[in-house]
Amino acid sequence: MTKELVVITGMSGSGKSIALHALEDAGYYCVDNLPPELLEPLLALETGRGERKLAIAIDVRSGQSLPQLPLLLHGLGDKGIALRLLFLDANDQTLVRRFSETRRRHPLSLPGETADAQTLTQAIARERHLLADLRDRSHVMDSSFLRSAQLVAYVKELIAAPSALLTLVFESFAFKRGVTLDADYVFDVRMLPNPHYEPVLRPLTGRDQPVIEFLDAQPDAQRMLADIEGFLRHWLPAMARDHRSYVTVAIGCTGGQHRSVYLVEKLAAMFNADWSSLRRHRELDGL
């Protein structure tokens, strides 16, 4: 039986097909829209095919069999299968826009419904309700502001992290574009001194040495860094004991360019010696 399984689920229009293609490029055997009741037969079939890595996508297209999925997944750990659950999400406004642009019909649209924003929003609400349990069990990835290439890179980076260890994902974002949906913890650092108001620093980012030196010299920035580090060091061992695979720590400032980027870089470097640490910069990675 295959030893590594990635299950991709999430909201319709959130990029599940893109994520599955990324895994296919990474060497996984991928199956889209697998009915939950065929999961165990598929895993048994893979027994005679060596140590092939497997990725499947399951979502609300499964219809009435979808509620079986959490129970089926729960028993896989006892069979020696390294399971990773990835939930693709996006905010309602983005999902409505994507469906409107592609003129696709939402899988939960009712017969006779027109594909306007109101009925799409109602279908999305129904889908969120049906997927709530799976979302709670999964690592959530917010694709609201991601280009396809960003999503592909993030998925590959995430899956490449060691499955046996807790992986920390440090993510910077701009509050002016909305709070990221995939965070386990959100820290607001907008009260810190802002390099944006220094003309020489304005075009730079929190990864550039002049900005680093500016924030290194700010007592409040160092206090914030120490407070976040202390909080995480206190609670991460408990989360690891609770068999968490991923923890996303989001740091937000006004523009997602200076302060949040600086803190993400610092924190990732601090924790990388003890935990597998990834870094993302939502506003910068898409440039």
Give the model's pLDDT for residue 4. Answer: 82
Give the model's pLDDT for residue 171. Answer: 97
Sheet holding 185-188, edge to edge: 185-188, 246-253, 167-174, 276-281
Is residue 152's pLDDT more than 80? yes
Give the model's pLDDT for residue 150. Answer: 92
Give the model's pLDDT for residue 113. Answer: 62
Task: Please check if 163 is assigned to a binding site.
Answer: no
pLDDT tens digits for range 207-232? 999 999 999 999 999 999 999 999 99
Task: Please check if 266 is assigned to a binding site.
Answer: no
pLDDT tens digits for range 56-101? 999 888 888 888 888 888 777 677 788 899 999 999 999 999 988 8
Cα 106 from chain centroid (whole Å): 22
C-beta separation of 147 from 228 below 8 A: no
Give the model's pLDDT for residue 51. Answer: 65
When pLDDT is averaged across residues 192-209 and rounded to a whole number, the result is: 98
Is residue 244's pLDDT more than 90? no
C-beta separation of 218 from 191 below 8 A: no
Q: What are phi and psi of 157, to 5 degrees?
A: -65, -40
Task: Please check if 230 is assigned to a binding site.
Answer: no
Q: What mean pLDDT value characterizes the chain?
A: 90
Give the model's pLDDT for residue 287. Answer: 63
Task: Please check if 133 is assigned to a binding site.
Answer: no
Task: Please check if 143 is assigned to a binding site.
Answer: no
Task: Please check if 178 is assigned to a binding site.
Answer: no
Task: Please check if 189 is assigned to a binding site.
Answer: no
Alpha helices (H) along the chain: 16-25, 39-45, 69-74, 92-102, 117-137, 148-160, 209-216, 219-241, 259-271, 282-285
Is residue 179's pLDDT more than 80? yes
By DSSP bridging, strand 4-10 and strand 54-57 are parallel
Residue 137 or 175, more confident: 175
Task: Please check if 61 is assigned to a binding site.
Answer: yes
Give the model's pLDDT for residue 193. Answer: 98
Give the model's pLDDT for residue 191. Answer: 97
Task: Please check if 138 is assigned to a binding site.
Answer: no
